[in-house]
Every structure is written in C-alpha cells, then in structure tokens.
Amino acid sequence: MNRMIPVSVDYAKAGVPAPADPATLNLMILPHQEDITLHPERPMVIVVPGGAYAFCSNREAEAIALKFLAEGIHAAVLRYSVAPNRFPAAALELAWSIRYCRAHAEEWHVRPDAISILGFSAGGHLTGTVGTLWQDPLFEKVLGKDVSWRPDTQLLCYPVLTLGEFTHVGSRENLLGTPEDPDNQLDKTEALSLETRVTSQTPPTFLWHTAEDPAVPVENSLMYASACRRCGVPFELHIFERGGHGLSTCQELTSRQESETVPDNTVWVPLAVRFILRHWQQN
C-alpha cells in the first residue's frame, strides 16, 4: 500500500497557527502475504528528512524508506512543517504520525511495539525532540492519551541535537527565530538542547555521524550518546572518519556531487536495520 495522507493536528490546542502548507505522511506499507507465517507482523520506521527546518530534503525521504522496505520493515515519510512555522508544530506532527501508525498497526500488520523514527540533520533534531521529550504534557494536551506516540527506537543521522555551542545556527533560527524577531522563542533554547533532556525513559537510540562534518559538528552525536550512557539508555554510536554533511545513503543514488558518495559509510544502513530488528526481536 502506498498512500499520502494529511497530518491532522489540532494546532489551536498548542496555541500555534495551522501551517499554510499542511504536513503529509507518505505511507509505504508492505503487502501482507498469507503464506509468510513466521513473522507476519513487521516493524515500521517513519523517515524524517533534514533541511535545516527550512525545507524537507527529498534526498533523505523515499530513497531511505525503500532501503528499509527491502529489509521487510514498513516505512513512511513525514514531510513536516518548516519555517516560518516554529516549535512545536513539527514535533506535534511527528508525534501524531507515530500515534496514527500505531492505531492502524493491526490493519497494516505492523508490530505496535516496534515503531521507530529515523531523522537526518534538522530532522534528527525533530526526531530527537519527540524521542526525548515524548512525556511533555503538551503532547497529551493536543493528541489525547488513548494511543501512545512514544517511539520504540530512534535513529539519528548526522543530527542537530544541541542548540548551544555546537549547534547548526540556521536550524536553530528557523525553529525558534532570531533575536530580531519579535515573536522568537529563544527562551526555549536550553529546553530544546536535547543532550540535556535525556532520561531513563528515552528510547533505545542509534546515532551516526562523520568526524569531518563541517555543518553539524560531531559533538552533537557525542554529547547525546554520553547522555544516553549516563542515563542507562541503550545506544549504538558510529563515527565515520570521512565525509561531509547530508550524505543520505552515501551512494550515487542520493548524491548531488561526487563528495557525497562515500562507499565506506554505506554500512550505516544495514547497521540501522540490524538495530531495529534486534530491538523488535527482543520485544
């Protein structure tokens, strides 16, 4: 099944305006095969593209979802609200998407306890926001509490996670505004520096980054992984020596230029697949 659905969030309950361009969730559900009886219910991953909270990168969308579909993992791609929309619009959209997929798990043959979220760059910050702050009362206020929006695992790909010294300034400004903006939300900078918000309730976390990343410093992943370690959160961290930012699959398939084709780093995909499957099988 492949279906594009509108994301239906009651933004008024959060005190923010509804976006002019509605968010969408592109569902890519594997067909149910009656003669596959060993594990008829499969895990699912929601892909969250990057784009500095200014746009949603097509390079980190369906091409990623197809990689996981090929491994027997249902997928969806969230195209969320970006600037001039600000926090918490996109976070509510991702939480709604998790809840929606879980509510339809039986119909789609999805394991309701094996729904992952996978984000790139600023989409990594969005993914980490829901994964780390899922217990914030705002989510229950807007979404209700009949179906959980907590992800079972989160996968963070060269993510923006801190909004402090090592942040990507453009992402922070698009999310919260600048000092010159009369309606900025810069008072939320510390609260949305996610390395400071990890708790024992944060879901198991997979991270990968490159040491050379010139746009989003590797410290983002290092600090978050350290916070997971302190709080006893299961995590897996991969730092690759070579490569810049925005590598997506690290293959020609998603590259804009030769420097984005980094064969040594393509292993992140099978590693991420194994991470999802391992935690699904443990459940």
Q: How do residues 65-79 score in pLDDT, each as one tens digit?
A: 999 999 999 999 999
| Angle made by CA atoms 44, 203, 39, in degrees to the nearest 5 | 35
Put simply, whether the predicted model's pTM sits higher than 0.85 gets the answer yes
Instruction: Find the range with the poorest average confidence among 39-43, 111-115, 194-198, 273-277.
Output: 39-43
Q: What digits encode the pLDDT tens for the residues 141-163?
A: 999 989 999 999 999 999 999 99
> What does the pLDDT read at residue 75?
98
| pLDDT score of 39 more than 90 | no
222-224-228-229 Cα dihedral, nearest 10 degrees: 30
CATH number of 2-282: 3.40.50.1820
Spatial neighbors of 2 by CB under 8 A, at least 6 apart, are: 26, 27, 28, 29
Partners of 47 in the β-ladder: 77, 118
| pLDDT score of 38 more than 70 | no
Phi, psi of 123 (to 5 degrees): -65, -25
Give the mean pLDDT of the chain: 95
Q: What digits encode the pLDDT tens for the residues 72-118?
A: 999 999 999 999 999 999 999 999 999 999 999 999 999 999 999 99
Do 196 and 227 contact (CB within 8 A), yes or no?
Answer: yes
Using 50, 70 and 90 to split pLDDT, how confident is the model at 213? very high
Q: Taking the CA atoms of the chain, what radius of gyration do you get in angstroms?
A: 18
Domain ranges (residues) in the chain? 2-282
Three-state DSSP string of 101-123: HHHCHHHHCEEEEEEEEEEECHH
> What does the pLDDT read at residue 1?
80
> What does the pLDDT read at residue 282?
73
Using 50, 70 and 90 to split pLDDT, how confident is the model at 250? very high
Instruction: Find the range with the poorest average confidence among 22-31, 177-186, 203-212, 265-274.
Output: 177-186
Using 50, 70 and 90 to split pLDDT, how confident is the model at 182? confident
Q: What digits encode the pLDDT tens for the residues 159-174?
A: 999 999 999 999 999 9
| pLDDT score of 236 more than 80 | yes
| pLDDT score of 271 more than 90 | yes
- Give the full edge-to-edge strand order of the sheet including 24-28: 2-6, 24-28, 74-79, 42-48, 110-120, 153-157, 205-210, 235-240
Q: Encoding tokens for residue 260?
A: 């984005």
Phi, psi of 147 (to 5 degrees): -130, 130
